[in-house]
Amino acid sequence: MAEKTDILMEKQLKKMRMKRVLKRELGAWGFLLPHFFFFVLFIVIPVVYGFVMSFYRWSLLGTTQFVGLDNYVRIWNDSRFWQSVKNTVMFAIISIPLVMAVSMIFALLLKKKWYGKLWLLVAFVSPTFFSSVGVLTTWRWIFSSAPNGLLNYYLTKLGLLKQPISWFATPARAWVCIIGVTVWWIIGFSILLYLGALQRIPPEQYEAAKIDGAGPWAQFIHITLPWMRNVLFFDVVRQVLLAFGLFDQVYFFTAGGPAGSTRTMVYYLYMVGFERQQLGRAAAISWYMFIIIFGFALINLFILTKSIRGAEGE
C-alpha cells in the first residue's frame, strides 16, 4: 500500500510540475505573441515580398512580368548605382570615425565635474530627438545661396566672403555641409552611450595606473578603451546603419547633385522605385545594399576589435 501511495504521489507531483511549466511557457508566449505578430507583419512579410518582387518587372501602373535575375544583372552593370555606392562608402569612412572621435572627446569632457556641463549635454543630445524636416529646413536656410542666407550674410558682413556663394555648388563643399550637419545631428546619442560607459569604469583602475606612472594617453588606451569595448561595438554597428541609410540630408540639400556626386544608395533606390516606378529593380537594389552594409559592418567590427586587443596586449 505504501509503495502504491508513493507512486500516486509521484504521478501527482509530475502532473503539477508539468502544469506549472506549461503555464509558465504559455504565459511567456502570451507576452511574446503581440510583438511576434507585428514583427512578422511589418518585417518578415515585407522582406519576403521584397525578395520575390526583385525577380519581377514591377510597376504600380503596369503589369508584372517575371524576369528572373535580370534586375540584379542590370543593377550590377549600372554605373550610377556603383557611383552611389562609392559616395555612400566615402561618407561612411569619413563620418563614422569623426562622429565617434568627437563624441568621445565631449564624453570625456562631460565626465569631469564642472559648472554648466548639464546644459552642454542637453545642447548636444536635444537635436537627436528633433524631426528631420525641422532640422534640415533650418540648415537649408542657413546654407542658402541667397544674400540673406544666414551663413552667407554673416560671412559677408565679417569680410570673409566678397559675395554670397552656393554652398552646394561643388561636390567638396556639398559633402562638407552634409557631413557637418550629420555629425552635429547624431553625436548626442553617442555621447550619452560613451558617458554612461565611462562612469562605469572603476576609479581604482586609473589610480593604480597613475601610481605605475601611466599618463593620460596610456590610461585611455589601456583602461578606457578596453572597458568601453562592448559600447563601441554597438555604436560602430549603429553608425554603419545610419551612414548607409543617408537620405534626408541629400534629399533636402542637394537632391543627389551636383551631377550625382552626392547621390547615395538609399537616394538612388528612391529615384528608381518612386520616381521611375521600377519597383522590382528597387527591390534588387535593397538586397545589394544589405550585402554591402553587412560586409562593411563586419570590416569595422574586425578593425575595432583588432585595435582594442592590440592596445590591451601592449
What CATH number is given to the structural domain containing 172?
A: 1.10.3720.10
Query: Are 36 and 111 found together in one domain?
Result: no
Structural domain for 31, as ranges: 2-53
Note whether 127 and 270 are same-domain residues: yes
Considering Cα of 282, then 288, then 292, then 295, what sign does the dihedral take? positive
Give pLDDT, residue 104: 92
pLDDT at 2: 52
Whole-angstrom CA distances from 28 to 22, 39, 174, 243, 265 are 10, 16, 51, 36, 40
Is residue 197 domain-resident? Answer: yes
- Residue 5's pLDDT is 60
The CB-side HSE value for 122 (13 A sphere, CA atoms) comes to 4
Of the candidates 84, 68, 56, 28, which has an alpha carbon nearest to the alpha carbon of residue 247? 84
Give domain status of residue 64, yes or no.
Answer: no
Which residues 6+ apart lie within 8 Å of 23 measured at CB?
A: none
Bond from prior residue into 216 cis (ω within 30 degrees of 0): no
Q: Residue 164 corresponds to which cell in the numbers above?
A: 554670397
Number of other residues whose CB lies within 10 A of the CB of residue 88? 25
In a domain, 301, yes or no: yes
Answer yes or no: is 260 within a domain: yes
Same domain for 293 and 260: yes
Whether 62 is in a domain gets the answer no
The answer to whether the CB of 235 falls within 8 A of the CB of 100 is yes
Instruction: Give the residue among 82, 118, 124, 87 at the shortest CA–CA distance from 102.
Output: 124
- Nearest one of 63, 40, 84, 90 to 286, comparing CA atoms: 84
Inside any domain, residue 58: no
Which amino acid type is present at position 15? K
In this prediction, residue 118 carries a pLDDT of 80
What is the chain's pLDDT, residue by residue, as a tens digit (314 residues)? Answer: 555 565 666 666 677 777 776 777 777 777 788 888 888 888 889 888 888 988 988 877 777 888 888 999 999 998 999 999 999 999 999 999 999 999 999 998 888 887 877 888 888 888 888 888 888 898 999 998 888 888 888 888 888 888 888 889 899 999 999 999 999 998 989 999 999 888 888 888 888 888 888 788 888 888 888 888 888 888 888 888 889 889 999 999 998 888 889 999 999 999 998 888 888 899 999 999 888 888 877 887 777 677 666 655 55
Total tally of structural domains belonging to the chain: 2
Helix (H) or strand (E) holding 66: strand 65-66
Tell me, yes or no, whether 262 lies in a domain. yes
173/259 same-domain check:
yes
Q: Is there a single domain that holds both residue 201 and residue 308? A: yes
Structure-block grid coordinates of residue 152: 552667407
Give 100's contacts (C-beta < 8 A, 6+ positions apart): 190, 232, 235, 236, 239
Residue 159 lies in a domain: yes
The model carries a pTM of 0.80
Instruction: Verify that 144 and 247 share a domain, yes or no.
Output: yes
232: Cβ–Cβ under 8 A, 6 or more apart, which residues?
100, 225, 304, 308
Largest CA distance in the chain: 108
